[in-house]
Each structure stands twice: as C-alpha cells, then as structure tokens.
Structure 1
Amino acid sequence: MIRALYLITISLLCFEISAQERITPLTYDLAKKKDTEERSFVLQTRTSQVVELPFIDDFSQDHFPGNQDGNTVLWDDLNATIHTSFGIDPPSLGVAVFDGMDENGQPYDDVSTSSNGHADVLTSAEMDLEGKLNVVLSFFYQPEGYGEAPEPSDSLVLQFYDPTFDTWTNRWHATGTAAGPYIPVFLSVGETYLQNGFKFRFRNYGRLTGALDQWSIDWVYLDENRSIDDEAIADVGFFSQVNSILSSDYVSIPWTHFTPNASQSTIIQKDVVLRNNRTAGALISESGYTVEFDGSEIASFTDSQSPSIPAESNEAITQEINLAPNSFVFPTNVSDTTAEFEVEFEFQTSPDLNPDNNRMSFKQTFKNYYAYDDGQADNAYGIQNFNGAGRVAFRFDILETDTVKAIDIFFLYQGGAALEDQLYFLTVWEESSGGAPSDIIYQDFQPRQVEFNMDGGFVRNVLQDTLVLEGDQNYFIGWVQPDNTSLNIGNDLSAQMNSQRLYFDIGNGFTPSSYEGTIMIRPVFPPLEEPAIVGIHEGQLQEADVWPNPAREVIRIRGDFPQGSMARLFDLKGRMVASENILFNDTRMDVSFTSEGLYLLEISAPTGARSIKKIVINR
C-alpha cells in the first residue's frame, strides 16, 4: 500500500530529543489496515499473471495488488509500505519500507516487546525467463532512513524461487547498521532460475513489534541482456514530492480565506527536483504541469526550455505558476465553500528507461481548515518529565478574520487504554513581539479526554466558547496537559515546520522545539461539518455529591463509584493541584493549600467513564 497519514504508535520504544521532548516510532497503522481491506476483494479474485520483461518498479507509482490506478500489478503481497518521504536521498521518489508491522497495520507480535523473527515480505509476480540470456536483477537499499535503525543481528534478504523444485534460496543479504547512502546491488540470475514461473522476494528479519529495524529498497529492475558491471540506471525521475503551490507554507487553507486574495495566495514559481541516475548528463526536452477540477482539465502549461541535469545528481527545475506567461491562479468561481484540484507535474527526456516516474501529482485541497502537514504521519511527538502543567503550542498565520469553530488533532492510538485516561485543555495564545506564545485568548473551561478516530484520521474538537481570530495575525494553537505523559500527536517529516513554529513549556517558559517535522493539528473555520466530534465526558458516572461548595479547607465527595475510581482537582490553566483515590463512598480531599478561585473536579472510573463538577475555593 501507499503510506497514508493514519498511523498509530506505542510508547514502549522512543527517542528522546531532550529530557522534555520525545518521538515515538509507529506500531499500529489503521490506514494500512483499511487499505488492505479495500484491496482484499481484488486479492481474492485476481488470477495469477505472468509479468513481461523488463520488470521495473521504482515505487513512484502503485504497482501493489488492488491498486486503484489501473497500474500493472508487479507484486503478490502487501506487507511492505510505499513511502514518499522515508528514504534519505533515494534514487527516485518513493521507496518500499520493511519493518515489523504486517499488512493489516499491526505488529507481527503484539505480546512480547522483544520478539524477533521474519517480518515483511515483498514477492514479485511470476516471470517467464525461459530462453533468456544475461538476466540481471538490480536494486538499491538503505537501512534506517528516517525511521529506526536495524541492529547488527537484523538483516534484509533476497531470495530466488525455483519453480521446478518449489524452493526458495537465499541469493543476497545485508546486516543491520545505521543509515548511509543508498547502496546499489547488481546480481546475475543463474541458469537454474531461467524458467517459466520464476519469482524473487525480499524479506527482513528484526523485531516484530512495529515500525522498528527498518529497511527500504528502491529501483528494482530485472531484464535480459544486462551486465552486472553496468552499476548504473539510465533514467531520470522526480526526486521529491510537491504537495502545494500556495504562496505560504500551507498545504491547505480554508476556501473562504483563499478566495478574497487568490492571486496573492498562489505561488509565483515552484521548483521541482529531478534525479538523474545516468552516468552522463540528461537533457530535459520539455516540462510542465496540468490542473484538473472535478475530473476535467482546466489548465495546462508547457516549458520548452531545455535544462541539463549533471550525471548522478539532483537538479531543481523552475515551473512558472502565477507568473507570465502562465499566470495561473486557482479559479474561485467553482464553489462557494470547498474545492479540490489535482495538479500533475511532468517532463520528457531521452533515453528514458522508466516513463512511470516522469509524472508526479498531488491534490490541492481547500476546505475549512489550515494545514501545514501533508497528511502523512511518520512518528509521534510529545512532551514528558515535567512538574505541574506542560504546554505545547504551534503557530498559525491566519489570512482572514473569522471565527474558529474547532481544532482537528491527530492523537495516535497506542493499542491500549493508557492515553485514554489523559486530559488536556485546548488553548490559543497570541504571539509575542519575540515570536513566542504570550497571552492566552482562549482555553477550555472543561478538560478534554484524549480520543482517537479508530477509522484513522483526525478527531474534531469543537471549541467550548466563541473565538474570533484576526486576519494577517499569527496565533499559537495547542494544549495544556496536567499529567507528564506524552500525548503522542502525529508528526509529519515531509514538512519541516516544527523548528519555525512549534514551542513547548515544561515549567520554565516556552522553548522552541528541537525536533524536525510538523505536528498534526489544524484550526477549523465555518462551515463546520460534523465528523468524529469530541464530547466532554460528563454524565457517564453517577452524579457525585460534592460539598461544601464553595469550599475552604476540605472537599467531601460522596457517591457509589466503581472500585479504582479517582478524584482529581484542576485549576483553569489545566494544572492538577490535588488528587485522591476513591476508596470509600465518602472521600475527603484536602484543598487547604490551594489559592482562591474556580476549579474543576474530575471523578474518573477505570473504564474511562467520568464526571466533572465546578468547585469554588473561597476563604
């Protein structure tokens, strides 16, 4: 499958950037599960087909079973994942990633955290090699990438299939190490395998508990009349993904915020990066792009300049967008509320071994939210090890004055109930003259429980009060959390906004993040749809009898609560100031040390049910 954003994480393994910030590798992937389910009918009904030579897959397009693009199916299974931002300087856009997560987005072993064994497998379709001469299989591989490095005891293995004896034989392997440049491998296919029904497969050995001990491969190429001494690929392809042609860093902005200043919001020029894998320079004879809306082409532009790309190197070629003679701006008369356009870049060169990678497309989406992330979460971000309340804030540049209605957040499910017990307060700050968060202009008056979209995706959190944000102003949007457990928000590594926009505070004031990527949080404006809205979990427990209220020294809590229930008192900044285990039907909580003011008393059961009451401390 092509990797989508709906990823799930586990906190058993993490990398700490500092004592306060951390990232967590992936263990569950709900989107992969959904994708496999959607392809399952094709997998059940597809008849085995023999693939003609040359066999070429650089993973710039989807050639997995059940793909929706009508591409030739080159592989028999779905364990590996196609990813456009995982490899470090890959030979082309898109790589196949191997780890310890299966085709259903689950760890191969979800019981033992130290389990090792054979994990992902990627098996080619059958080929007829009978009578072929000088057959060579080549590919590039890289351990770790932007993921987790395999250990020296881990391995990536290539096996050949002998249809006569129905056996698989190891032909090549590499042992685990840290990331380096992609390494080319050229192998002869011996006479034993020159049969009808030949196949090959890649397998990785490592931990079976998620996205760990990772490898990636690229540019798999098998054909006759080749030499293992060539060690070069006569091809040029796109190198990196483009996700937007807006003039800002946004991937998406609200349609009603785009249309008043559409021309200013469309970029003037856009650089697209190509990779020349030839041993000689490559001339790009033509390049350009097309734009479609609702399945119909609305714009097409061609650049007849002929830039040259040096041998075995990357080169950016500039495409004119909102600049004469193209002067393209997304048309604003196609819709009143939302719009989505498909933009495809392409080029021509000769010789050209793989025309598949001469095109690259993305969807420019205008709905009702701002987004810097492109929808592909690569790991989880969070803060931990702090006293009091922790704060996370991400800066947004608001284009038009409007009422923000909700905040979409992608908290990542861990496969258990640990995070479901965590609370947080959505918070919005103004920007200080120094560029950091300053005064709070909105904060939830009731805490929220961390919730997850179990179908994969963002969860919409409707604001608890009216908040108007001014146009041409910057605001920080995030949360305050009373507990020092990482809440694990999705983090997209293809966009590098954290270093410019993300701040955290663990009690010593706001500090810029030291972690790359872009956390997945989006402010939402009218019109407001109704998907997966988070509620405040009140009324799920028997209503507590709490007195006195106002209180001075002690709060008494009476009610018939399940064993293991807990009472926690929060101030309006989201800080937990007191807690008591509810051991009897009449529980006392000492509040003598607290300051006067309004507080929130939360009573929670082990099941996750909870009740919240406002408490006034007055002396």
Structure 2
Amino acid sequence: MALSQEHLTGLISNPVIKSHISEMENPLQYKSRVAIYKSLNLPFKDDFSDIDVYPDANRWVDNEAYINAEYPVYPPNYGVATMDVLDEKGDLYSNAGPFPFIADHLTSYPIRLDSIVSENHKITVADSVYLSFYYQPQGRGDIPLGYDSLVLEFGHYSDSVFSHTDYFWKQASDIIGENDTLFVGDTVFYSGCDFPYYICSETYTYSDSISVPCDSVYALNTVFSHIEYYWEQASVFIGENDTIFVGDTIPTYSGCDFPYFICSEIYTYSDSISVPCDSIYIVNSDWTRVWSAPGDSLETFISDTNYLVYFRKVMIPITDTDWLRNDFQFRFYNYGSLSNINSWQSNTDHWHIDEVYLNIGRTKDDIFTRDISFVEPVQSFVKGYYSIPSWQYTEALQKDSITVFANNNDSINHNCTYKYWVQDEQGDTISGLTYNGFSDILEPYSTQNVYNYQPFVKAPVVYWYTLNGYGDADRRISHVIYDEDSITIGDTIIFNQQFRNYFAYDDGSAERSYGLSRNGGRQVVQFKTLEEDTLRGVQILFNKTLDNNNDRVFHIGVWNDNNGEPGVLRYELGGKHPQFKGTNEFYTYIFKDTIIKLPRGIFYVGIIQTTDDLLNIGFDRNTNSRNKIFYNTGDGWLNSSFEGSLMIRAVVGPALVEPSIPVKSLPAKLEIYPNPPGNSESITIQLPSSCSDPKYRKYLTVRVFDICGKLIYSAEFDEHLDVRSYRNGFYIIDVFDAAYTRHYTTKLLIAK
C-alpha cells in the first residue's frame, strides 16, 4: 500500500551541536579525561532551562546529552536533557549498529552525601535522602524500542584502581588547511594538552622537579625513540612556600607543545588523527543499576491508565549507607540501535529528562517547587506560515491569536499574568503592538493529565504592522509570565519573527527526516501567493545518513493546482543531488535559466525520486502543516500521515545573486553576572565573542526593558550596569550592535 512507503527517520548528526562547536572560541574539553572532580554540596538540582546545547559544566561531567526545548512534548519546565545515539560532537557513535549499544551518558559531579558541611551535620538514612526526576520516551523524536531502555545508576570512586589514558582523537582540520595534506614523514605542532594531572606519589617542594605527563612524541634520531615525559619545575605550579602532597591536584597545565611525528598513513582535511596527549590518571568509578525504563512510543506511554501524563516523575530513596559518602555520583544512560536499511541509519531512540533534584529532608510526596514557566516554544504571528516574504504579507495573514502553554509546578493554584510586546530591528517597542496582559488561575501541573491539559491563554494578536518593498525584516516578540503574588517567580521567552524571500512552514529546526521508499515517488509542498510574484528557486534541508546513503539523484518540480492537489507538472529541474551546505542552513537550488511567473493563488514545489532510497528531507515536528504536504507513489496524491512540516521552501522575489541563503543560526550568547545581583549594586555584562572587539564598542547600545516592555534605560555600552534602583521582577537586557544590526539579549532577575 502507498501509506507504507512514507517514512520518518532520525538525523545522522545534530546541526545545533555542530553549529555550537563551530562557534566555540576553544575546542571541546573532554572532562572525562580529568583525574578527579571536586565534590558538590547538596542540594543538587537542574531543570535544564538554560538552553545552551550542552549540560551545565558545573553539575555534569560529560557533554553527550543535548539540552533543548524542541524535542519534548509538554515537559514540566522549558528545556530538557535529550538522550539519543549522537555523541557530544553531534555525530552517530562509532559503535552504532543494529544491535543495542550504550549511547549517551549524563553523569553528575561527585556529591557530598556524607555531610552538610555548612551545618557540620553528618548525613544518615534518617535524613530521608531522595533523588527525583521526570522522563519521557520519544517526544517529537524517534520511538525507542523495548530493549532501547533508559537506565539510572548510582556510583562512587573506586577505592583502588586508576586507569591510564594516552590518546584522544583530534580533527586534522585543527592542524592543516582545507586544501592541505599530511604525508608520511611530516611533522605537526599541537599544544592541546591542558588536562589536570593527579599527583599520586611523592612529596614536592618549590625547588623540586615533577615528572609531568605530556605528549607522547617521536624524537627524530637515527632510530625513532619514544618520549612520554619531561621534567618541569614545581615552581610553575606552586608558590615558594607551598608544598604539593600525595593526593593533591595541581592546576591545569598547557605546556605540552612538542612536535608530533606522523609515522603512518596520509591524512586530509576531514580526517581524524590520533594525537598523543597528556598521559593522565583517571579515577575509576564503581556503578550499580538502581532503575530503568523500557523503550516505548509516546502514544503508549501517555495512555497508561496508571499515569495518563506526558512526563512521569520518579522518586528514588537513598537508604543504603554505602552511598552516604563524599564522592557519590549518579548517571543516566540509554541504549540505542540503528535500522538494518542503509538509507534509514540515522539518529534514533530519544529519551527526555527534566527536573533532576537530589536533597535531604524529602519524602515520596515531595514533588513540588514554587515555579512558573513556559513549556513549549512560542509561535509565529503569521497565519499558516512560520515565515513569508515581507512584500507578500497582508493583514489577512495575521493570526487572530497564539496559543501559550505554561506550568505551575507548585502544589496550589497561583494567579498568573501573561504579557507580550514587539520591537523593531533597532529595539524600539512598536506602539500598539503590546498585549497588556491576561490574568487567571494557573492550576498545579500535578493535577493535570493528558485529557485536561490546556494552554494557559490564547493571546490575541492585538495589532500588526505594514511592511513595504522588497527586503528582509525582523520583529522581536518578548513573552513574559509571572506570579502576581511574587513577580520574581516567572519566565521569559523571546521570539524573532523573520520575513525573508521565501515561504516557510518550518521553524528551521529538523527533529526528524522524511522520505519515500519508491522510485518515482513525489513529495511536494503547497504554497499560496497573495500577490503576483516570481519563483526563483527552492530551498531544501537534507539530513545526512550513515555513509551518505541518501546521496541519490532526484529532480525538482513545480506543479499547478488542481482543486487543492498538485496538477500539471509545470517545470522540472533534473539531475540534482542532496547538498549539505553547512550546519543549520538550507541549500538553495536556483532556477537560473527559467523565469517562473506566479499568479495569485496556489502552486506546489517538491522533488521526484529516481531510486527506492529515502532522501531524508528535514522534518520539523514543532510546526504542523500536514495538510500542505502531498506525496504520490503511483496511486494518486495523498496528504502526509505525519504531523509536522516538510523542510522545503519556495524562494520568490528579485533574482538570486548568491548561490545559497543562510536561513538559521544559533543566537549569540550574552551573559550577565551576578544574576540575580543579590546585594551587589551592579551587574557585569559579558559580550559574546562576535562583538567583543574593543574597537566596535562605540557601535553598541545597552537597553533595559521592564516586564511590560517599557524602555527604562538606554545608553552607550558599558560592561557595568547599576541596578540599585531596580525593583523586584524580570527585566530584558538588550545590547544592540548598530554596525551589523544585531541584538544580543538575556534576562535579568531582581530579587532583593
């Protein structure tokens, strides 16, 4: 049957992680190489609301879980830790295959369960220690099969054994240029050894020399000799009157800059090279499984009559005295498995974790926190589309309202207020485009189930604006919700409404991949112009598969409308291949030699397959344009059976000059501290690297908006901002870069 030939699969890589790595000033630090970690004090809590791709490095020791708000369905808080089969670089694990394998880990720092240091209190079983968390299988991702389970383990440092590490893998692109090649006999220089070294023998004073593990290198003699150590003065690490004792940890050391002689193989730009690094000692941990959940579909999971919730809460008492020590750890990990079909081998088996909390003085009913938060990503204000060309926008495409979900994680009702306001490219609030508020009772999240879970408000779009002429435009929409009894308890989300030269239903983020398993299959998307225009090309986001098994020839087609479904094939551009232009970017296939005039009305754009292999087009699960997706495998046109948006965009307007158009990138990160300021009279604003050059400071303006969108402060940028006069509540800190017309935004909480 035709329905069986339409498929959703996962991604072979995570484009958000890829983009994040490319923007990092320093390469990834593999904390799993560190010899020992300083133990944290109770309480331990993380709700993953700081969406920064990787887990908080102050709480977790690995980078394998993906922090996001796109994959979960109605979580307790905005943001979760997603476990899948992609590593910390966003690639499929090297050992991934059709048989179950251990994939992601989410491992806590060591935690002091022996005592409450600040109170000089020794922890016992009578202190009622509980670890709790929420979890959900699949979400908007892939269904984990029954044996692709989620596991929780408790652990502590091994009492006897250290393991020895010599190497980690390094991209050749960090060493050579894109067009260069390393041949046998070449020498490269690498200084990436910056891991702490655990002193495990002898005592050292200021004048001593310490044998510091460094690069394993080959010295070029008549015969190659192998060097692992060299001698370094202890004065590099400690003061004149200090002493390093057995068991001490010395600071990070990055003096390993010896040449490394390439003695086998030939490497090109995209290869990985085994680069010798610090020989270090890693403290092993002993682990015990304490909980697990079998894989399941979200539909089955939420239908269980014992729960009927989107996320289940787990409460685990810690009653074994063996865990009441100063190096207690816990970790989650998941099992994954890939399809046997080559073109389907991509990211699978999604699990989502939220609200991890460990503390004493808890009970099995201790499931509440005084917290008001948004739940889902906010919506576009444009009716039917996520983004459209500014010259095609009319009042008819203004939504009547947007749906806003929020959670109250307390045990009692709270009166809450929701507001939004809109700003232009310069950060000025647009007069009339402010929703002054909706107030109502927000019931506890714990009292709601899958049958009565409702949005907090359907907020009206109170007014829109006129966009004139060809060109891009942006409107920033700030959404705020807060507890009326305590306005410091609440949440803020900022949405960037973009107007570009394309029609798009998707939000630019692919959670899945879409494809047909039929030679000659056609997959198309319906669009509608409100004004006459010219079709200039098509943007498509393709997701890679293992070994590029979706690199197959296809044709691009444009169809007329035939009573609400594709009609006559109007234009065909043949012999194309999937292009993977870059992270978070579509590829634009330009209609160079043909001008396709579009009258007002409906038209269709899509592709025609030439093989049975899935082409794996990006599929967005956070927007839903299912009724605009059509496919035909020989039995006539059908609407897709999957809710979501196929990531094909129609490019219109003036002729295209550039070969491709970047359509999405991660926002630059602006940081402020301390936040909240507490007793501090000022906060420090730390700029992202893209605008931190001092010579560009003259182009920067810092602005502060209150919870209603009112501008309360504007001045030339200064890294210190006086906040003594600010009342309790949420504020938006906005740094505007006039040189590049960019905004860097974060939120400030004042709680005196």
TM-score scaled by length of structure 2: 0.59
Q: Hey, what's the Cα distance between the residues in 1 that align with 2:142 and 2:488?
A: 30
1:414 aligns with 2:549: no
Residue deviations 1:343-402 (CA, integer Å, cap 9, x gap): 2211112788995x722232211111111011121222122235xx33222111223221
The alpha carbon displacement at 1:203 in A equals 1.3
Match of 2:647 among 520, 527, 547: 520
1:530 positional shift: 1.5
Q: 1:372 aligns with which of 480, 505, 510?
A: 505
User: Partner residue of 1:394?
Assistant: 525
Residue 172 of structure 1 corresponds to which residue in structure 2? Answer: 290
CA separation of 1:90 and 1:45: change in aligned 2, threshold 3 A: closer
Query: What is residue 89 of structure 2 aligned with on the other side?
Result: 104
Q: Secondary structure at the match of 1:100?
A: coil
Among candidates 465, 468, 472, match of residue 338 of structure 1: 472
- Residues 468 and 320 (structure 1), Cα distance of their counterparts in 2 relative to 1, 3 Å cut: same
Counterpart position of 2:108: 124
> Aligned residues: percent identity?
28
1:295-334 equivalences in 2 (<5 Å): 296-299=427-430, 301=434, 303-311=436-444, 312-313=447-448, 314-318=453-457, 320-323=459-462, 327=463, 329-330=464-465, 332=467
Q: For the residues of structure 2 that align with 1:495 and 1:450, how far apart are their CA atoms?
A: 23
Q: CA deviation at 1:252?
A: 0.7
Contact 1:118 1:204 in 2 (8 A): yes
| CA positional deviation for 1:276 | 3.1
Aligned residue type for 1:203: Y
Deviation track 1:307-345 (CA, whole Å, cap 9, x = no partner) reads 11333334323365542xxx3x25647x96112233221
Q: Does 1:235 align with 2:371?
A: yes
CA 430–319 in structure 1, closer or farther in 2 if over 3 Å, else same: same
Specify the alignment match of 1:277 in structure 2: 409
Distance 1:332 1:153, change over 3 A: closer
CA contact (8 A) 2:372 2:481 kept: no
CA–CA distance in structure 2, aligned partners of residues 429 and 135 of structure 1 = 64
Query: In 1, Cα distance between the equivalents of 2:392 and 2:537?
Result: 16
Match of 1:29 among 11, 14, 21: 14
Find the aligned partners of 1:287 and 1:237 in 2 and give their Cα distance: 11
Task: Determine whether 1:86 maps to 2:71.
Answer: yes
Question: Is the CA contact (8 Å cut-off) linking 1:33 and 1:103 kept in structure 2?
Answer: no
**Equivalent in the alignment of 2:636:** 509
Alpha carbons 1:303, 1:319 under 8 Å: kept: no
- 1:447 match: secondary structure: strand
Letter matched to residue 534 of structure 2: T
Cα distance in 2 between the residues matched to 1:41 and 1:371? 35
Task: Check if 1:479 corresponds to 2:611.
Answer: no
Question: Which of residues 139, 156, 159 is equivalent to 2:150?
Answer: 156
Indicate how the Cα distance of structure 1 residues 168 and 33 shifts in structure 2: closer, same or farther if over 3 A, else same.
farther
**Residues 461-610 of structure 1 aligned to structure 2 (within 5 Å):** 461-463=589-591, 464-471=593-600, 473-498=601-626, 500-527=627-654, 528=656, 530-532=658-660
1:75 is displaced (CA, Å) by: 3.0
**CA RMSD, Structure 1 to Structure 2 (Å):** 3.4
* Contact 2:557 2:571 (C-alpha < 8 Å) held by counterparts: yes
- Secondary structure (helix, strand or coil) at the match of 1:358 reads strand
Change (3 A) 1:42 1:161: farther
Supply the distance in 2 between the matched residues of 1:460 and 1:509 (Cα, whole angstroms): 28
Change (3 A) 1:514 1:223: same
Question: CA 1:82/1:194 → structure 2, altered by over 3 Å: closer, same or farther?
Answer: same
Query: Displacement, 1:492?
Result: 1.1
Rounded Cα–Cα distance in structure 2 between residues aligned with 1:353 and 1:148: 38
Pairs aligned (count):
496
Assess if the C-alpha contact under 8 Å between 2:442 and 2:456 holds in 1: no
- Give the superposition deviation at 1:251: 0.8
The structure whose RCO (Cα within 8 Å, separation 6+) is larger is 2
CA contact (8 A) 1:236 1:352 kept: no
Aligned to 2:392: 257
Q: Distance in 2 between the 1:74 and 1:514 partners?
A: 41
Aligned-partner SS, 1:18: helix
- 1:572 is matched with which residue? none
Residue deviations 1:227-274, cap 9 Å, x none?
Answer: 23324444332222223112x12111112323xx3x443333322112
Question: Which residue number corresponds to residue 8 of structure 1?
Answer: none
Give, in whole Å, the separation in 2 of the partners of 1:120 and 1:353.
38
Do the aligned partners of 1:274 and 1:315 also contact (CA within 8 Å) in 2?
no
The 3 A distance-change label for structure 1 pair 282 and 440 is same
Secondary structure in structure 2 of the residue aligned to 1:170 = strand
Residue pair 2:39, 2:111 contacting (<8 A) in 1 also: yes
Question: How far apart in 2 are the matches of 1:24 and 1:45?
Answer: 30
Alpha-carbon shift at residue 18 of structure 1 (Å): 2.4
Q: Does the aligned pair in 2 maintain the 1:235–1:353 contact within 8 Å?
A: no
Contact kept, 8 Å, 1:345 with 1:359, in 2: the verdict is yes
How far residue 221 of structure 1 moved from its aligned partner, in angstroms, is 2.3
Tell me which amino acid in the other structure corresponds to 1:367.
Answer: R
CA contact (8 A) 2:81 2:354 kept: yes
Distance 2:423 2:8 in 1: 38
Matched, 1:221 2:339: no
Match of 2:134 in 1: 140
Distance of aligned partners of 1:78 and 1:105 in 2 relative to their CA distance in 1, 3 Å threshold: same
1:52-82 Cα deviation digits (max 9, x unpaired):
75543333332565x9xxx885433321123
Residues 423-449 of structure 1, C-alpha deviations (whole Å, 9 max, x = no match): 31x22222222x1111233322x4323
Q: Tell me, yes or no, if structure 1 residue 432 matches structure 2 residue 568.
A: no
Whether the aligned pair in 2 keeps the contact of 1:134 and 1:226 (CA below 8 Å) is yes
Task: Please give the secondary structure, in 2, of the residue aligned with 1:315.
Answer: coil
Q: Is the CA contact 1:427–1:478 (under 8 Å) kept in the aligned structure 2?
A: yes
CA displacement 1:152-174 (0-9 Å, x = unmatched): 43432223343584634335321
Query: Secondary structure in 2 aligned to 1:212?
Result: coil
Question: Of the candidates 403, 408, 412, which is equivalent to residue 534 of structure 2?
Answer: 403
Give distance in 2, aligned partners of 1:340 and 1:50.
46
**For residues 415-470 of structure 1, what are the alpha-carbon distances to aligned partners after superposition, in whole Å with 9 as ceiling and x for unaligned?**
4354334231x22222222x1111233322x4323332244521100014101112
